[in-house]
């Protein structure tokens, strides 16, 4: 298109899937200055223009068979697969866990594996709403297209021991509650770890050294057994 002045070129594409009937539909269409300009007819496998100005573009795109096939493949297959995946995500409640590095660390409520991204956190203290000392984390994407998010409760260790805290996560009208705090408090002192590793390494070194000495001794015995001098070895050099 070659027109003077400012103009608007628009692209809209997507797909539709009915999870009740299994019916699928997709579209890819272009607009120029708010008017229909081009659209892809999936049944006829070609671009069609309702206006005279779009016919040259339609002919050019229809002649590019590789790009035309890619457009069809995405709309009829990949787009539908992603849509089905997102629909499935919407039916699955987030996985919610209460995590704590140590008994003196803050408690983090971690929700993951949910879609769409809208999720709400709330804390309960002995069955009552608790909104103090709470920090909300950022929304982060997962590799599979779902999301994860955290909410951190900053309270003193003695308060955690005296009270019962729980995290409630709401997503798509459904709620999930986490009550048990998983604390990584079984850490072993570094001195014990270093000592144990040193002992293991020492045993391995001793074992390898012993095996090498045994193999060397065994090889020497075989050598001497196969190269014994005659009983009257003094005659060899006579």
- Mean pLDDT estimate for the chain: 80
**What domains lie within the chain, and their CATH numbers?**
9-91 (3.30.500.10), 95-183 (2.60.40.10)
As averages over each run of 10 residues, the pLDDT of the chain (238 residues) reads 76 88 91 92 94 93 94 92 80 88 93 91 96 95 92 94 95 91 58 41 50 52 42 36
Contact yes or no for 151/135 (Cβ under 8 A): yes
- Phi/psi at 216 (5° precision): -65, -45
The number of beta carbons lying within 10 Å of the beta carbon of residue 49 is 19
The pTM assigned to this predicted structure is 0.49
What sign has the CA pseudo-torsion 207, 209, 213, 219? positive
**pLDDT for res 18:** 84
Q: CB atoms < 10 A from the CB of 101, how many?
A: 13
Digit-coded pLDDT (tens) for 173-224: 899 999 998 876 544 344 334 443 444 444 444 555 555 545 555 554 443 4
- Percent of the chain whose pLDDT exceeds 90: 55
Is the peptide bond between 18 and the residue preceding it cis, with omega within 30 degrees of 0?
A: no
């Amino acid at each position: 298109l070659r027109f003077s002045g400012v103009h608007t070129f628009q692209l809209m594409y997507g797909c539709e899937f009915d999870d009740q009937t299994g019916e699928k539909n997709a579209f890819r269409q272009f607009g120029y200055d708010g008017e229909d300009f081009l659209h892809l007819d999936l049944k006829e496998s070609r671009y069609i223009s309702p206006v005279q100005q779009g016919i040259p573009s339609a002919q050019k795109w229809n002649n590019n068979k590789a790009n035309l096939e890619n457009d069809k493949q995405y709309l009829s297959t990949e787009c539908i697969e992603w849509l089905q995946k997102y629909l499935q995500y919407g039916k699955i409640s987030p996985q919610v866990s209460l995590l704590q590095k140590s008994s003196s660390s803050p408690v983090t409520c971690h929700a993951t594996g949910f879609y769409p991204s809208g999720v709400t956190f709330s804390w309960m203290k002995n069955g009552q709403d608790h909104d103090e000392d709470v920090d909300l984390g950022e929304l982060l994407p997962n590799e599979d297209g779902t999301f994860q998010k955290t909410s951190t409760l900053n309270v003193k260790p003695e308060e955690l021991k005296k009270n019962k805290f729980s995290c409630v996560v709401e997503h798509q009208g459904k709620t999930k509650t986490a009550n048990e705090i998983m604390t990584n408090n079984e850490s072993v002192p570094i001195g014990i770890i270093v000592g144990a590793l040193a002992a293991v390494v020492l045993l391995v070194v001793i074992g390898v050294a012993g095996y090498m000495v045994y193999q060397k001794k065994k090889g020497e015995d075989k050598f001497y057994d196969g190269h014994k001098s005659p009983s009257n070895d003094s005659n060899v050099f006579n």
